[in-house]
Structure 1
Amino acid sequence: MSLSDHDKHELLAGRHADPFSVLGLHEVDGKLTLRVFVPGASDVAAVDVKTGRKIVALAAVEDAPGLFEGVAARRKKPFEYHLTVGADGHSWIADDPYRFGPVMGELDEHLIGEGAHRRLWEVLGAHVMTHQGVAGTHFAVWAPNAMRVSVIGDFNAWDGRRNPMRRRGATGVWEIFTPGVGDGEIYKYEILDANGTLMPQKADPVGFGSEHPPRTGSVVRETGGYTWRDDAWMSRRGAVQRFDKPISVYEVHLGSWRRVPEEGNRPLSYREHAEQLVGYARDLGFTHLELMPVSEFPFDGSWGYQPVGLFAPTIRHGTFDEFRAFVDACHAADIGLILDWVPGHFPEDPHGLGRFDGTALYEHADRREGFHPDWNTLVYNYGRAEVANYLIANALYWLEEHHIDGLRVDAVASMLYRDYSRKEGEWVPNKHGGRENLEAIDFMRNMNTAAYGESDGVMTIAEESTAFPGVSAPADAGGLGFGFKWNMGWMNDTLSYMSEDPVHRKFHHSKMTFGLHYAFSENFILPLSHDEVVHGKGSLLARMPGEGGDKFANLRAYYGFMWGHPGKKLLFMGGEFAQPAEWNHDSSLDWHLLDHHNHKGMQSLVRDLNRFYTTTPALYELDAKPEGFEWVEEDNADESVLVWLRKGRGDTPPVLVVSNFTPVERPARRIGVPEPGRWAERINTNAEAYGGDGRGNMGGVHSEEIAASGRPVSVTVTLPPLTTLFFELER
């Protein structure tokens, strides 16, 4: 009946590769034999689950402390049992994990092996459940090259010998059902590599919760108990997230949007954000919020862009369900929620994905392919089917399980090119000898195809800074399949122009017009993001020339130019009230500035720009089509004046946009218009309410049959200094 010396040695050393073959209930020499491993126990017995009567008295195995075995003399068939355990004068009842059968099905196993399990999160990770009539948690993790994997936590004294897991065939998945473990339990995986070397304790790659950093444990989370209340939003979001609809995005870092100084300067919780941030964004007329990454990350200074827990909403602001309540609040306010998503790289923290089972599992083994010199991070091996599947499933997880409306994919350029930020000889060409990362390109196409194919009405957005063609073209037409692309070229050119002294702007006029040469080659978003107010760049206001009021006037005119320009809009928090200081992720925005007229006026301007934009079809209906835009004055560099028309479908009234980027007023300025009638002045960035001096056109101008700008009809307008004006034709 006794175990072999080899089995005993391997169990005691925590090296046994197949503990289910020897622990639990087995037939040995025609008898039902029970074996358990309970280090520190003095006596163990098995009792009937229903009657509580002792079935088997187990005896300590010689020369194997903690191992017990015994024969069920009166039982011929497997039976359900509890264990009664005694140690140090105490006794308790426990369930034996080795009496439970597998949880994962054969189809799951097959799909994981194929790298085709789109709902991977439903199988891997920690799932609270009732299995064979007993409440507990099922743990499953992919570690194909490990000798042994154990789940460890307070429930087993963090002893990797106690709960080694069952290997599931060739897939490399290990699983175990652990009775009595429930929501809130902290756990990790203890792994021996193929050589039996003990790895650093690993967080769960598909964990749904994490400890608060700097602690690094995963946390069991019940994922199925939330009741969604956003059916109305979910049914219509596809109609409002199209390229021919208005989209104005407020980008937010949850840790620094607003803090509570009375409570140690802590950041707001998800629930507080649901009330304060959502209400604020709605009041300002934004259609969407975009959150910098909320997937769990260890280092605050990474702003979330070096995540470890891709499936875990960060605990910094609350629990799993509190995050869902925040999403619900966005939808109740008719605001879409976009998450920054980081499938491009991951940090080398020892508890993370790096060399997860002792091998380069998620990353490339060759550091020329698998290491990012810019961020000191590891690069996913997109050519490995299981890794690509892991990332695609993660995208679907956020879209489906958390009702996220869009994913903005970070650092796409770094994924597209093998030589990104690398010197000659420090990168590996593709199979054709080129610099494109063919595997990453396939991954992005497959991710976008899955996202749009399986989640109704969502959108994906690429942060892509090169001229790679077809980023927002359909994947089946050879594009990458994203819905939108950030227009980084527009942002760089126009901010460079705005930083020039107005007297020199005439020499840089093309920076404001060049974007229209490619404006309709992609579905663009115009981003004034967090990247433009960090690392010594200063705030948007600080980058404007001049002193005092001139800085505000320049920024107001620039916002008017942006909202009148083709492309969706994105503004990083603080920009809406012209925060003078560069963004600091460790402190709150300077909300006290709203007591000052110029800052309050800037906020009022952004509110009015959003409201005019979202209610004026000419500004969005043909946003991605050249027929929706027409230059009136493109080449007036000497005056630094730009004039253009925005047009919608059919009889939609056109909008005339005029920007004057000099501090010189231009009275009685004649401008050609396409139709006669009254052109109402809808927005004047020089209005007193916005902090300007109130010069303008008394609410509108009437056309005259006088030719100008190549048109037979014209209007005479006053162009205040450093101002953008919007005129809409009154039908």
Structure 2
Amino acid sequence: MDASTPPASEFERLIHGQHDDPFALLGPHGTGKDRIVTVFDPGAQTLHAVTDDGTTHPLTPMGGAPGIFRGPVPGSGHYWLRGEASGNTWEFEDAYRFGPVLGEMDEYLLGEGSHLRIWQALGAHVIEHEGQWGCQFAVWAPNARRVSVVGDFNWWDGRRHAMRRRGATGVWEIFVPFVADGAVYRYEILGADGQVQPLKADPVGFGSQHPPENASIVRDISGYGWSDDEWMTTRAEAQKREAPISVYEVHLPSWRRKDWGRPISYIEAAKELIDYVADMGFTHIELMPISEYPFDGSWGYQPVGMFAPTIRCGLPHEFRDLVNAAHKAGIGVILDWVPGHFPSDPHGLGKFDGTALYEHADPREGFHKDWNTLIYNYGRAEVSNFLTANALYWLEEYHADGLRVDAVASMLYRDYSRNPGEWVPNKDGGRENYEAIAVLQRMNTETYGAHSGIMTVAEESTAYPGVSQPVNQGGLGFGFKWNMGWMNDTLEYMKKDPIHRSHHHHQMTFGLVYAYSENFILPISHDEVVHGKGSMIGKMPGSDWEQFANLRAYYGFMWGHPGKKLLFMGQELAQRSEWNHDAQVDWDCLADPRHAGIQALVRDLNHLYTSTPALHVRDCFEDGFEWIVGGDSQNSVFVWTRKAGPEDPQVVVICNFTPQEQSAYRIGMPTAGTWREALNSDAEIYGGGNRGNYGQVEAVEGEMHGQPAHVDLTVPPLSAIYLIKD
């Protein structure tokens, strides 16, 4: 052995997968006559290096180090390798002859936790590097002793493509020639304790196998031809507080099933779902989590592949096809986003490099009792960066128009769903999770700062202040917040027999006390129709007729109430079955005119809401609403007016939540004159009894209910009426 030959112990470490710096041993070292190439190929009996001029240079097996070959390859130019064993010959490029892909700025930003486009640095990227095409792999595992990328391309042998450590960043990378789009891979990680971890999926991988298989798949996400410029340049107007926003919440795999029960594909949904939503008059689709998840029963709320659109419905470019089609139809796309927790599946983020890396080590901070999941360590700069960058990723790479953030309350409070002694107070001894709050504020600041036309929405079930207030005013910075209190109160009211409703009148009016404390969305989401809660129609009391009439009246109340709207799929049909993620929406129920009537009502409510400024422009402003009759608990009647600008017609909404018709019911009106009955939920086309006011009423001068005019009208049983003075 000459003086430059490493000691045998170094080769032993390499052979046994214990070496933390394989580039120090393998590949070319030196130039000219002094260049020595060292290769590890455990399947080879002989190995040659071949230079571009066709010259072969035999590499010598290292005695006592099986699979290690070493020898001179003069020059500094390109070479490739030719192995032979048992009469078989193969050729391959030496991954260890290539320099790093990541630059100094990437290294600096990754180390600092301020690289907001980490998906451009980490993950698997099909690129050309130093004149050769292949795949660059990069992953963050700061406490690992060795990280290797494994796949079919190297027989899942973690010794073959051990990666290069990038200084103090904790990032490992390697460029592997000829690995292409569609290649299956994982990371094999030797932990700090010397133990090999379960094979890990790529935290920044762009694709995954079909569950229950869970390896990552190389997906080239570059080069998509978007054609949604018109929407992208105008969407800010469609998503501001003054805009009509009516959201159709969709669990895509169970919206419609195809063939023998498979989920609808992104490509099919780009036609069928978009056409349906446009016809129904919804302005936005909200997709329950699209990021890859292992367990169907989590509905996507326990994600592993935060950067991978689920393969259940297709490939990344095909998901882009769906978003592109929505935008061309003038429909926004909101994605459910889950930064609150992640599952403990062995291939996931848990103890990624053998240590509590993404999660807290202390289960009082790092384990969710409700869902048996792990909680991110929000105070770690790299984890905060991972989540913030992921939010930007969906907005930039997939043109998402907004993110609805799941389970915000579980992030805000350290004692969420915990008993005394089971949680760790903050530095001031309180329950607020300062670090999680900072992550949410950072996410909102960065996303709105980069894309002012987007919208973020918080599912926050407590009275935490300032959820939809700007960060620079002490708020969390969300654009909107789900109004969970309104939803709970009003549904509890609707479940009651009408004979008891007079005693619970406040449940329908209390929402107006705080209606303008946040920018609210009124949500009837998937959470209200699962886990034994039944369907919306099933919540309504009474006979079949009364159930349908109650639901029509409730939707009329909801669309007339201040706040943006959200309805979960299937509830626009009044399907009787509870939502089942393994089936599809009960489209067959539309053969019944009563169900078709509910669908027609939702369609008309949407079109009336979006076309009538008074019903949406001042949704989030106190001057857009005024009670006319708010206290008639005896008759369970509610009357109010909605307003926009001084030139826009007002809308008077009347709701009757008893099965008794109110004849000659006198109410105050904003002005005298003819008021058109723009919508009556008791109309025959909706399945009602066609009772009402023959299409219009005549208000006369004379003060009542604080209004300058009044009218006597018929209010059908269990109904909602909208009057507009054109």
- TM-based fold match above 0.5: yes
- What residue in structure 1 maps to residue 29 of structure 2? 26
- What residue in structure 2 maps to residue 51 of structure 1? 53
- What residue in structure 2 maps to residue 635 of structure 1? 631
Render the CA deviation track for 1:667-720: whole Å, top value 9, x for unaligned: 111110111221110010000000001001111111112332232311121000
- Structure 1 residue 78 displacement after superposition: 2.2
Choose 585-594 or 409-418, whichever is displaced more: 585-594
Hey, what's the Cα distance between the residues in 2 that align with 1:87 and 1:376? 50
- What residue in structure 1 maps to residue 67 of structure 2? 66
The one of 634, 651, 655 aligned to 2:651 = 655
- Structure 1 residue 25 displacement after superposition: 0.6
Render the CA deviation track for 1:304-346: whole Å, top value 9, x for unaligned: 0000000000000001110111110111111000000000000
Hey, what's the Cα distance between the residues in 1 that align with 2:312 and 2:54? 45
Hey, what's the Cα distance between the residues in 1 that align with 2:377 and 2:706? 57
- Structure 1 residue 289 displacement after superposition: 0.3
- Structure 1 residue 29 displacement after superposition: 12
2:249 is equivalent to residue 246 of structure 1:
no
- Structure 1 residue 186 displacement after superposition: 0.3
- Structure 1 residue 549 displacement after superposition: 1.1
Letter of the 1:114 partner, please give it. E
Q: Is the 8 A contact 2:549 2:719 kept in 1?
A: yes
The one of 202, 207, 210 aligned to 1:209 = 207
Hey, what's the Cα distance between the residues in 2 that align with 1:661 and 1:371? 45
- What residue in structure 1 maps to residue 550 of structure 2? 554
Structure 1 residues 427-466: aligned runs within 5 Å: 427-466=423-462
Letter of the 2:152 partner, please give it. D
2:127 is equivalent to residue 129 of structure 1:
yes
The one of 27, 38, 41 aligned to 1:35 = 38
Q: Which runs of 5+ in 2 are unaligned?
A: none
Render the CA deviation track for 1:196-220: whole Å, top value 9, x for unaligned: 1100000000000000000010000
Hey, what's the Cα distance between the residues in 1 that align with 2:106 and 2:322? 32
- Structure 1 residue 30 displacement after superposition: 7.5
2:1 is equivalent to residue 5 of structure 1:
no
- What residue in structure 2 maps to residue 415 of structure 1? 411
- What residue in structure 2 maps to residue 95 of structure 1? 93
Hey, what's the Cα distance between the residues in 2 that align with 1:594 and 1:718? 30
Hey, what's the Cα distance between the residues in 1 that align with 2:623 and 2:430? 37
Structure 1 residues 310-349: aligned runs within 5 Å: 310-349=306-345
Hey, what's the Cα distance between the residues in 1 that align with 2:702 and 2:646? 26
- What residue in structure 2 maps to residue 729 of structure 1? 725
2:520 is equivalent to residue 524 of structure 1:
yes
Hey, what's the Cα distance between the residues in 2 that align with 1:41 and 1:585? 51
The one of 694, 701, 709 aligned to 2:697 = 701
Structure 1 residues 366-385: aligned runs within 5 Å: 366-385=362-381
2:576 is equivalent to residue 580 of structure 1:
yes
The one of 270, 273, 278 aligned to 1:274 = 270
Structure 1 residues 675-714: aligned runs within 5 Å: 675-714=671-710
The one of 172, 177, 182 aligned to 1:184 = 182
- What residue in structure 2 maps to residue 265 of structure 1? 261
Hey, what's the Cα distance between the residues in 1 that align with 2:578 and 2:154? 48
Letter of the 1:300 partner, please give it. D
- Structure 1 residue 547 displacement after superposition: 1.4
Structure 1 residues 486-525: aligned runs within 5 Å: 486-525=482-521
Q: TM-score if structure 2 supplies the norm length?
A: 0.99
Hey, what's the Cα distance between the residues in 1 that align with 2:195 and 2:703? 84
RMSD over aligned Cα atoms: 1.0
Residues 29 and 649 of structure 1: is their aligned pair in 2 closer, same or farther, counting only changes over 3 Å?
closer
- Structure 1 residue 63 displacement after superposition: 1.1
Q: Is the 8 A contact 2:32 2:76 kept in 1?
A: no
Hey, what's the Cα distance between the residues in 2 that align with 1:374 and 1:195? 31
Structure 1 residues 361-400: aligned runs within 5 Å: 361-400=357-396
Residues 29 and 679 of structure 1: is their aligned pair in 2 closer, same or farther, counting only changes over 3 Å?
closer
- What residue in structure 1 maps to residue 230 of structure 2? 232
The one of 467, 483, 507 aligned to 1:471 = 467
- What residue in structure 1 maps to residue 78 of structure 2? 80
Letter of the 2:15 partner, please give it. L
Hey, what's the Cα distance between the residues in 1 that align with 2:573 and 2:705? 36
Render the CA deviation track for 1:427-451: whole Å, top value 9, x for unaligned: 0000000000000111101100001
Q: What's the secondary structure of 1:424's corresponding residue?
A: coil
Q: What's the secondary structure of 2:278's corresponding residue?
A: helix
Q: What's the secondary structure of 1:542's corresponding residue?
A: helix
Hey, what's the Cα distance between the residues in 2 that align with 1:638 and 1:57? 98
- Structure 1 residue 592 displacement after superposition: 0.8
Choose 600-609 or 667-676, whichever is displaced more: 667-676
Letter of the 1:39 partner, please give it. P
Hey, what's the Cα distance between the residues in 2 that align with 1:564 and 1:483? 21
Hey, what's the Cα distance between the residues in 2 that align with 1:35 and 1:331? 54
Hey, what's the Cα distance between the residues in 1 that align with 2:341 and 2:619? 33
Q: What's the secondary structure of 2:437's corresponding residue?
A: helix
Q: What's the secondary structure of 1:707's corresponding residue?
A: strand
Q: Is the 8 A contact 2:469 2:476 kept in 1?
A: yes
- Structure 1 residue 53 displacement after superposition: 2.5
Q: Which runs of 5+ in 1 are unaligned?
A: none
Hey, what's the Cα distance between the residues in 2 that align with 1:129 and 1:667? 74
Render the CA deviation track for 1:552-601: whole Å, top value 9, x for unaligned: 00000000000000000000000001001110000011111111100000
- Structure 1 residue 52 displacement after superposition: 2.9
2:610 is equivalent to residue 614 of structure 1:
yes
Q: Is the 8 A contact 2:13 2:19 kept in 1?
A: yes
Letter of the 1:464 partner, please give it. E
Q: What's the secondary structure of 1:577's corresponding residue?
A: coil
Hey, what's the Cα distance between the residues in 1 that align with 2:76 and 2:198? 38
Render the CA deviation track for 1:616-672: whole Å, top value 9, x for unaligned: 000111111110000001111000000000000121100000000000001111110
Q: What's the secondary structure of 2:631's corresponding residue?
A: coil
Runs of 4+ residues deviating >6 angstroms: none
Identity of aligned residues (%): 61
The one of 512, 530, 536 aligned to 2:532 = 536
- What residue in structure 2 maps to residue 162 of structure 1? 160
Hey, what's the Cα distance between the residues in 1 that align with 2:175 and 2:452? 34
Hey, what's the Cα distance between the residues in 2 that align with 1:534 and 1:299? 17
Letter of the 1:212 partner, please give it. H
Q: What's the secondary structure of 2:30's corresponding residue?
A: strand
Hey, what's the Cα distance between the residues in 2 that align with 1:196 and 1:326? 46
Choose 263-272 or 479-488, whichever is displaced more: 263-272
- Structure 1 residue 146 displacement after superposition: 0.2
- Structure 1 residue 28 displacement after superposition: 9.7
Aligned residues: 723
Q: What's the secondary structure of 2:704's corresponding residue?
A: coil
Render the CA deviation track for 1:27-65: whole Å, top value 9, x for unaligned: 3998211100011111111111x33332x2101110111
Choose 475-484 or 667-676, whichever is displaced more: 667-676
- Structure 1 residue 103 displacement after superposition: 0.4
Q: TM-score if structure 1 supplies the norm length?
A: 0.98
Q: What's the secondary structure of 2:697's corresponding residue?
A: strand
- What residue in structure 2 maps to residue 624 of structure 1? 620
Q: Is the 8 A contact 2:614 2:648 kept in 1?
A: yes
Q: What's the secondary structure of 1:364's corresponding residue?
A: coil
